[in-house]
Structure 1
Amino acid sequence: MRGIGFYFFLAAVLCVTLGMVWGIHMAISGDHLMAGAHAHLNLVGWVTMGLFGVYYTLTPAAAASSLAKIHLAVALAGVVVMVPGIAIALKHGGEAAAAAGSMLTAASMLIFLYTVFKNGLGNPV
């Protein structure tokens, strides 16, 4: 079944695949200017999204809520805005997108904090 946990995992796997390709490109070229953006793609995109996917898979009550869908949208928007925003900032193009993406990512984590606090972990006993 393709529930919310699956979609978080799908996003995570896409992020890590892009992150690996980007990392290989940096290694081959010797240009590591974008290391900060690459690191955020791997950490926020792969690790965080993957952990969200694990949580929602283990906690069906949380996954069934409409807030889970909002969480997915905000988390995806955070990565999609923040990572290119960091790349733009590193190229001296301004920090607005990086800041906006960071705020979306922080909002995503606040949604997750509320969700965990409200639903706990796993099936209720």
Structure 2
Amino acid sequence: MNSIATRFYATSAIFALAGMTWGIQMSASGNHTLSPAHGHLNLIGFVAMAVFGTYYALSPRAAASRLANIHYFLTVAAVLVIVPGIAMAIKGDGEVLAKIGSVLALAAMAMFAYVILRNGAASTNSVEAPSLNNPTS
């Protein structure tokens, strides 16, 4: 597996562990006030990053591009800004970070769309699964 996919996967697992721990803490305390921030940690930090990692694992040409690294750091920045930003907004401490994080998350997804449109669903040098119609392949 290439290093950018590994970074996306490893970071998504760390964010998932943080999100699960936070969820357990909310459940134990009975206070679910910050559940929207928790949800964004899981959705962007775990799900989206795992999807991005899967794409890069299956698309070596895209993974080798400089844009893949920029995409990784932009996505991490989005998570690290939007999650506390949402928590701050819920607590009434201002919405600036939530707004900045939202723009970063939108930019990360737009970059992903661009990478897909530029490189396709998978490069020609990726390994293809054997066909179910042809057992010898």
Residue 27 of structure 1: aligned partner? 27
Listed one character per residue, the Cα deviations across residues 80-103 of structure 1 (whole Å, up to 9, x for unaligned) are 000000011111000000000110
**Relative to total residues, which structure has the larger helix share, 1 or 2?**
1
Listed one character per residue, the Cα deviations across residues 38-76 of structure 1 (whole Å, up to 9, x for unaligned) are 000000100000000000000000000000000011100
Aligned residues: 125
8 Å CA contact 2:9–2:50 kept in 1: the answer is: yes
Listed one character per residue, the Cα deviations across residues 10-34 of structure 1 (whole Å, up to 9, x for unaligned) are 1100110000000000000000000
Q: Secondary structure at the match of 1:123?
A: coil
How far apart are residue 121 of structure 1 and its match?
Answer: 1.6
AA in 2 matched with 1:35? S
The two structures have a TM-score, normalised by structure 1, of 0.97
AA in 1 matched with 2:37? A
8 Å CA contact 2:2–2:63 kept in 1: the answer is: no
Residue 119 of structure 1: aligned partner? 119
How far apart are residue 123 of structure 1 and its match?
Answer: 2.5
Q: Distance in 2 between matches of 1:10 and 1:77?
A: 15
Residue 103 of structure 2: aligned partner? 103
| Percent of aligned pairs with the same amino acid | 46
- Structure 2 spans left out of the alignment, 5+ residues: 126-137
Q: Give matches, 1:1-125, under 5 Å.
A: 3-124=3-124
- Structure 1 spans left out of the alignment, 5+ residues: none
How far apart are residue 122 of structure 1 and its match?
Answer: 1.9
Q: Distance in 1 between matches of 2:112 and 2:15?
A: 19
Q: Distance in 2 between matches of 1:66 and 1:115?
A: 11
Q: Distance in 2 between matches of 1:47 and 1:78?
A: 14
**Consecutive aligned runs of 4 or more in structure 1 exceeding 3 Å deviation:** none
The two structures have a TM-score, normalised by structure 2, of 0.89
